[in-house]
Amino acid sequence: MVSLFDLTGRSALVVGAGSGIGRAAAEGLAAAGARLICADLRIDAAEQTAARIAGCGGAARALEVDITAAESVRRLVEQAGAGGGIDVLVSTPGVNVRKPLLEYSDSEFDRVVGLNLKGTFHLLRAVGAHMAARGRGSIIVLSSIRSLVVEPGQSIYAATKAGLVQMARALAAELGRRGVRVNAIAPGVVETPLTEPIKQRPEWYRAYAEKSALGRWARAEELAGPVVFLASDASSYVTGTVLFVDGGWTAVDGRFDPPL
């Protein structure tokens, strides 16, 4: 059974590898034996992750990418695929503007949709074509519990995360017979730079911890196991699905109205 999780000889591209869930995913995949391409808008952060992996005996290199630009993504896939191809893609970038829908500006809408949804589309289109041509691969996109449940101030972010799920499912249906699996992971509240503002509000932070069945936030490294599972042969018959890693959040009733 242990060999099912072994990624030795495979190449994994993690986009958003410079911090948070992306960094944890990259380190987890490397620990399972994969060669890593750590990509991020901030090349210095990607290089730090690659250095951490190399320091633990793994193989990793860093590349810069702006997923909102199709040409940047095309160059990334060309560089990442050179010398063996891409076996695994993990897409983690996301941005949120917390405010009531009626107060959203057009530019804020465009920013959230442009990165979360269109940026991920750029990645799925480019890497999906690469994997389909090779006849194999696993694509993992990071969605959110907000794809299923919402709260005030999360309208556009939630819409993009729900959109990611449907885009992943459609791609799974389209590429399944070409050897490519596509799945989504939906985390709950996780200690990352994206959620740092919430940590500055003790009441809000505590309410989120108490909402889950486990009574606490997730650590970013707790997402590494689910990523490795979906990347590996342990999930060889899993595609077009959403794996909720939320500490029981979506199973527990109740609501907290965050300050807006």
Catalytic pick from 157, 205, 208, 237? 157
Angle between helix axes 155-175 and 120-134 (nearest 10 degrees) is: 10
What 3-state DSSP class applies to 240?
Answer: coil
> Among 17, 18, 25, 20, which Cα is nearest to 232's?
25
> Among 146, 128, 152, which Cα is nearest to 190's?
146
- Give the C-alpha separation, 191 to 199, whole Å: 9
- Give the C-alpha separation, 162 to 172, whole Å: 16
157 is catalytic: yes
Work out the end-to-end distance of the chain between its first and last CA atoms, rounded to an integer number of angstroms. Answer: 48
Q: Would you name the residues annotated as active-site residues?
A: 157
